[in-house]
């Protein structure tokens, strides 16, 4: 393993980018290459520290997650109905990810594919933001099974490292009628089951790669990821009240050619 400083750097990158429409996986792959931390162990570490980012969202939206277990009267996004919506959103990417897991890690975890995913995702963001749509879903309580499943289908795009899970789900939500801020909040919440499942599956397959000596490295990445994700989610929600997703698209358009240049 590299130094604990490298773990902290990767934790910051993971936390800051996990819930922004810029792709945490893509940024981790690039950062790992710059740090000289690549291979199966690096890929599994990058997946493992996502748990820190997941925990940040669970604590930030603890009342919503609590309501899924103990439903509140008058709340439609709670209890069995809320769990059903999250299940529908998680289903398409879970099935496709399970089928294509090994191929994705073998062929798509490299700077070149990340660069193209950043570029394609940026163009899609600009297209979605250019075409004005009248929202039909203004709160999480107005989320329908059809909308939840549709967002889940868009989430499959995130299996291409560099595309961004949050970008795919937020864009999908907006295209299908959700208000931008609602699409973003649902994206955060829907990330928990799919990320937890993906992380758990990956760790079951790769836990033998790690030893007790690696635990401090994993712990630092986890803790730093949690703190930076907390800050990023709070900041992103604030900015969405004032901005569109276009600045993130421009950032992606600037980053993609730089990646292709330096790794050509």
- Determine the pLDDT at residue 146: 97
The tens-digit pLDDT sequence of the chain (264 residues) is: 568 899 999 999 999 998 999 988 889 888 988 898 888 788 888 888 888 999 999 999 999 999 999 998 888 999 999 999 999 999 999 899 889 988 887 888 888 999 999 999 999 999 999 887 788 999 999 999 999 999 999 999 999 989 999 999 999 999 999 999 999 999 999 999 888 887 887 778 777 777 888 888 889 999 999 999 999 999 998 888 788 899 999 999 999 999 988 886
- Phi/psi at 110 (5° precision): -150, 160
d(CA 229, CA 126): 25
> In the chain, where are the structural domains located?
4-72+79-263
- Determine the pLDDT at residue 264: 66
- Determine the pLDDT at residue 40: 79
When computed from its CA atoms, the radius of gyration of the chain, rounded to whole angstroms, is 18
d(CA 228, CA 235): 11
- Determine the pLDDT at residue 81: 95
d(CA 109, CA 28): 10
The torsion of the CA quartet 61, 67, 69, 71, rounded to 10 degrees, works out to -170
Residue recorded with tokens 């996004």: 77
- Determine the pLDDT at residue 1: 55
- Phi/psi at 39 (5° precision): 105, -175
Contacts 24+ apart (CB under 8 A), 196-203: 196/51, 196/54, 197/90, 197/94, 198/47, 198/50, 198/94, 198/97, 199/47, 199/48, 199/50, 199/51, 199/54, 201/98, 201/101, 202/44, 202/47, 202/48, 202/101, 203/44, 203/47, 203/48
Helix (H, G, I), strand (E, B) or coil at 178: strand
pTM score of the predicted model: 0.87
181 neighbors 240 (Cβ within 8 angstroms):
yes
- Determine the pLDDT at residue 141: 95
Helix (H, G, I), strand (E, B) or coil at 137: strand
d(CA 203, CA 92): 21
C-alpha neighbours within 13 Å on the C-beta side of residue 99:
7
- Determine the pLDDT at residue 2: 67
- Determine the pLDDT at residue 225: 96
């Amino acid at each position: 393993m590299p130094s604990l400083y490298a773990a902290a750097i990767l934790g910051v990158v993971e936390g800051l980018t996990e819930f922004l429409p810029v792709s945490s996986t893509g940024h981790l792959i690039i950062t790992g290459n710059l740090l000289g931390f690549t291979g199966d162990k690096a890929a599994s570490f990058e997946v493992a520290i996502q748990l820190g980012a997941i925990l940040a969202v669970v604590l930030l939206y603890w009342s919503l997650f609590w309501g899924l277990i103990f439903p509140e009267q008058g709340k439609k996004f709670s209890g069995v109905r809320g769990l059903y919506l999250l299940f529908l959103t998680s289903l398409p990417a879970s099935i496709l990810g399970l089928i294509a897991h090994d191929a994705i890690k073998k062929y798509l975890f490299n700077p070149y594919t990340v660069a193209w995913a950043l570029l394609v995702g940026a163009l899609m963001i600009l297209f979605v933001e250019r075409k004005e749509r009248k929202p039909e879903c203004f709160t999480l309580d107005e989320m329908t099974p059809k909308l939840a499943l549709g967002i889940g289908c868009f989430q499959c795009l995130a299996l291409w490292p560099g595309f961004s899970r949050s970008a795919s789900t937020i864009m999908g939500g907006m295209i299908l009628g959700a208000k931008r801020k609602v699409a973003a909040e649902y994206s955060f919440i829907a990330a928990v089951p799919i990320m937890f499942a993906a992380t758990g599956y990956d760790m079951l397959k790769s836990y033998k790669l790690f030893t007790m000596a690696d635990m401090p490295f994993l712990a630092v990445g986890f803790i730093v990821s949690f703190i930076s994700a907390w800050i990023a989610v709070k900041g992103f929600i604030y900015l969405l009240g004032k901005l569109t997703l276009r600045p993130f698209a421009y950032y992606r358009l600037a980053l993609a050619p730089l990646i292709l240049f330096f790794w050509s």
